[in-house]
Every structure is written in C-alpha cells, then in structure tokens.
Structure 1
Amino acid sequence: MFVCTGYGTQDPAAPLAPLQINRRDPGEFDVEIEILYCGVCHSDLHFARNEWGFTQYPAVPGHEIVGRVARLGGGVTKYQAGDLVGVGCMVDSCRSCVSCREGLEQYCDGGFAGQTYGGFESVLQEPSKGGYAERIVVDENFVLRIPETLDPAAAAPLLCAGITLYSPLRHWGAGPGKKVGIIGLGGLG
C-alpha cells in the first residue's frame, strides 16, 4: 500500500479539498497510473454530495482519467512504463458471471463493486477512490491506450461523455448517409 494525495470531501456539505488516500501496490496484473488529467462530470458532484444515497466518506470522485503508466505488475503484458492510458468508470468485475464471460462487464452480477469510485477496493478492503488524485492502480483489463497524437486533457472527457454518445451510435450503425438525432441538454445533448 502507498499513500497519495486526492481531492475529495469528508461529508456531503463540505467543499472538495486535498486529503491523503490509500492506494494498493500494483498486483500481478495491475497498472499504476500517474494521473495527468481527470475530466469533471456532473456525476462526480452527485456522488460527492451523496445525491444517490450510497456515498461513503471520505469520497474522492473522478472517472475520466488520463495519465502515464508509472509501475506495472509482473504479469502485465498490454502496457509499458510511460504509455499514455485512460481509465473510465469501471476498474474491476467478478470476471466469472455470465455477463463478464461474454465481455459485458458493465452488467456484472457483482454490481457496483468494480466502480472507479463508489465501489469497493477489495485489496485494501475499503471504498474505492476516484481519479481526482495523483495516482490510481487498476487491473490492465480496465485500462485503455490513449493515442499519443491526442491531447490528453481533451481525451479525458471521452472516457464518459464521449463513450456515452459513441456507444449507441455504433450499436445502431450510424455513419455516412444516415441521419441521427441526439436529444438532451448539457455536455451529452
């Protein structure tokens, strides 16, 4: 285990402020990421203010993470130190339920356990802490490569708002010559 600085809150009414948080040392298939940028999503505010009713404090939001690989577990094969990578809202799953075996970890029977924040950090046996921090440790299967040609600050929001819009467009075969409508307000609409 190591300690790093995060930016979070101690209760629903308190402002976000620096605090010390625990991170697990990289296990065999873990990637430790030095966080360079973390997008700000309205979900982060809902979580920090306990508007969904499940926040445990201290709470560190942030699920649009871009950074550089700092350390690797001995079994990691997908990344090397220095790679530019990203992490979204999921950092783990049970990997054994029907959904996980089909590559649909977002429907894992384990529910919110594998969330970047608001889940449960099984190694440390405490609530998971998000990307408003200096570092994060994530299993390599939940880390995404970010092209070096992409501005890392601009890439961070793609890990939530970007994928939220891209997924249905891809699912429904949107492309040249097709019409689509995106309805809503704010960053997604």
Structure 2
Amino acid sequence: MTTKAYGAHAADKPVGAIAIERRAPGANDVQIDIAYCGVCHSDLHTVRSEWPGTLYPCVPGHEIVGHVSAVGDAVSGFKVGDVVGVGCLVDSCGECGACHDHLEQFCEKGMIGTYNGPTPDAPGHTLGGYSQRIVVDQGFVLHVRHPEEQLAAVAPLLCAGITTYSPLRHWNAGPGKKVGVVGIGGLGHMGLKIAHALGAHVVAFTTSESKREEALKLGADQVVNSREAGQMKAHAGSFDFILDTVAAPHNLDAFTGLLKRDGTLCLVGAPASPHPSPSVMGLIFGRKSIAGSLIGGIAETQEMLDFCAEHGIVAEIEMIAAQDIEPSYERMLKSDVKYRFVIDVATM
C-alpha cells in the first residue's frame, strides 16, 4: 500500500515528502492510521547518520499515536477504531531470556527498531512514524486511554515517557525517596512529572536559572543550579536515586557525590562522546552505582501509559506541520522547544 511519508534519501539531504510502501496486514498485524508522531533527538541523529548504520531511505519517528484502521484474522486485543500507540520497537526474537522477562528492549538477538531495523518488507529496513500509516505486529501495539484532546501530547510518552518511567520504577522511586532529575528538556520534564506522581521528593538540577519556575510547575519540590557549588553541597549524600537525562558529556562526580550509601546515578542521556571518567573512590566509599537504562519493554510501556492516563500526565509539546520538520531539527539543536515537537500527520 503506497503511503505518504517524510524522510530523507541521504545524510546530507533534508527531510521531505516521499512515498513508501506498507505491507498489507497479516494475520497478527494491526494497521494504524497515524494522527501524531513526536520528534525525538534520535530521529535527527539517525536521519543525518550521526549514529552509524543508517539505511536509506530513512523515515524516522517512534512516538506514534493513531487509530486502528484494519486488523488481521488472528488479532484479539485490538479492533478498528481503537486509539493506540507504537513506541521505539516493533519486533524482537520472542525466545531469549530478555524477551521471556518482558524486556524486549534488551532482546539478545537485537530488538527491531520502529525505523532503521531489519525487516523482510521493502526496502529491507523498517520505516517509522513520519508517515500516514504503519502496520505493526499486535504484540508491539499499545492501548492509549487518554482523552482524544490529549492525544498529540501523549505521543512523546512512547519514548520520553517510558525512558524516564522505567528507571524510576526499577529503582523504586516513590514515597520516602529523594529523587533527582538532571536536565529539564524532552526527557527531564517527563522525569519530573512522573517522579512527582510516583510520590517521591523530587529535586530538579539545571544549569539555567531561568528554568527554576518551570521546574517547580512540572513537579519539582526543589530546584538546584548545578553550577552553584553551595547549592550542590547542601544536598551532599542525600539522594536515593538521580536520573541523568543530559545528552552532553559532563562531570558525573558532581552527582555521585550527592548520593546516599547504596544510591544510584542512572544515565539515560546518550552523548555523542564519552563523559569524563568518574572517580572510582567516590563509588567505593558508599557502595554507589552508576547505571544506565534503555526505554522499556512492551508490558512496562503499557503500564506507563495507563499510569500517565490515570494521573493526567502528558508531555509539554509544540505542534508542527510535516513541512516544518527540518526547521524543528535546527531549533531542537538549540534547545529551542518546550519540550517536545509533535508532527500533526494530517498536514501530510
């Protein structure tokens, strides 16, 4: 089925209108008419070959919300008209230990990404959500229970939401826990909202004094300017967990020093070059950990969507037309968005 999409044919070509082919729904497939697709920093890195291995044509987009328009004969959990979402992965081996543990993002044979992943469908790799429709195996489709008027702002939950929810849940953020969130951007603003809703005492870290009031509105109980030594020192040794969302190299010791004994600093930002090597002594004296986390499995992503619907949580977004994707990339590089761009697919 020929489908309108936006993508690029080479790293040095702008994202523009292209025609792609989608398979007819198989027995286990759900066909989705896409209403909204979020714009993630990963989209830009991939389409411009800033990460290795991009296959062209490249159609990015893994924060997808839309309506079911067809289902295969063996599909049981979805029907035409359902509001659904698709996140960062559309397949996995289903056989390895990670898949059996509902952690498909860590599939030992390699998860299949919503774009740029191997597939038997033409052109041989997956094409993402910057398009009018997509066909996905029912096991990787998610129910969206937010009201219709919030659907555009739900789209970023499929990446930014689960990327922050999963580590907050894994490290038991909640009542009685002091949780830090480093960086107030596309990921960080979701981390603040979710940590607050989980019941933790939430501290936002920012290098921008101008974000103080915004952080408080997003759910922070306190805000620390991480460039102010006195403000940082006042929190030394007091955090159970710190979620670091910053995608640029920075000094991790500044944050491991704020952890309690057995505290964890979890990295979810992915910088293009490594962080300066952290002090081993700072970890040894306190049995502290530096960890990482990658999105979440399908079951946990559904749990996150349901949690956010129950608590009225959505992303802070700016809607754009498909024709404005390239300018949005340039603005994103300058952090000129509060806090996530979302494409109105009707503009295709």
Q: What residue is the counterpart of 2:173 in the other structure?
A: 174
One-letter identity of the residue aligned with 1:141: G
Report runs of 4+ in structure 1 exceeding 6 Å deviation. none
| Aligned 1:21-32 pairs, distance under 5 A | 21-32=20-31
Identity value in percent? 55
Which of 114, 117, 129 in structure 1 is aligned with 2:115?
117
Measure, in 1, the Cα distance between the counterparts of 2:35 and 2:23.
Answer: 19
Structure number with higher relative contact order (C-alpha < 8 Å, ≥ 6 residues apart)? 1
Deviation at 1:185, TM superposition (A): 5.1
Matched, 1:133 2:131: yes
Corresponding residue pairs, total: 187
One-letter identity of the residue aligned with 2:162: I
Deviation at 1:125, TM superposition (A): 6.1
Deviation at 1:96, TM superposition (A): 1.5
Deviation at 1:110, TM superposition (A): 2.4
Measure, in 1, the Cα distance between the counterparts of 2:176 and 2:51.
Answer: 40
Q: What residue is the counterpart of 2:164 in the other structure?
A: 165
Measure, in 2, the Cα distance between the counterparts of 1:104 and 1:143.
Answer: 15
One-letter identity of the residue aligned with 2:105: Q
Matched, 1:186 2:185: yes
Deviation at 1:102, TM superposition (A): 2.2
Root mean square deviation of aligned Cα: 1.4
| Aligned 1:1-189 pairs, distance under 5 A | 2-112=1-111, 114-124=112-122, 126-149=124-147, 151-184=150-183, 186-189=185-188
SS, match of residue 51 in structure 1: coil
Measure, in 2, the Cα distance between the counterparts of 1:173 and 1:164.
Answer: 15
Gaps of 5+ in 2: 189-348
Deviation at 1:10, TM superposition (A): 0.7
Deviation at 1:188, TM superposition (A): 1.6
Measure, in 2, the Cα distance between the counterparts of 1:148 and 1:107.
Answer: 28
SS, match of residue 18 in structure 2: strand
Measure, in 2, the Cα distance between the counterparts of 1:100 and 1:166.
Answer: 19
Measure, in 1, the Cα distance between the counterparts of 2:168 and 2:103.
Answer: 18
CA displacement, residues 53-96 of structure 1 (integer Å, 9 cap, x when unaligned): 11111100000000000000000001110000000000001111
SS, match of residue 58 in structure 1: coil
Gaps of 5+ in 1: none
Note if contact 2:93-2:110 (Cα within 8 Å) is conserved in structure 1. Answer: no
Deviation at 1:126, TM superposition (A): 0.8
Deviation at 1:148, TM superposition (A): 4.2
One-letter identity of the residue aligned with 1:3: T
Tell me which protein shows more helix as a share of its residues. Answer: 2
Deviation at 1:109, TM superposition (A): 2.3
SS, match of residue 106 in structure 1: helix
Measure, in 2, the Cα distance between the counterparts of 1:172 and 1:99.
Answer: 18
One-letter identity of the residue aligned with 1:186: G
Measure, in 2, the Cα distance between the counterparts of 1:50 and 1:126.
Answer: 18
TM-score by length of 2: 0.52
Measure, in 1, the Cα distance between the counterparts of 2:97 and 2:176.
Answer: 37
Measure, in 2, the Cα distance between the counterparts of 1:84 and 1:31.
Answer: 12
TM-score by length of 1: 0.94
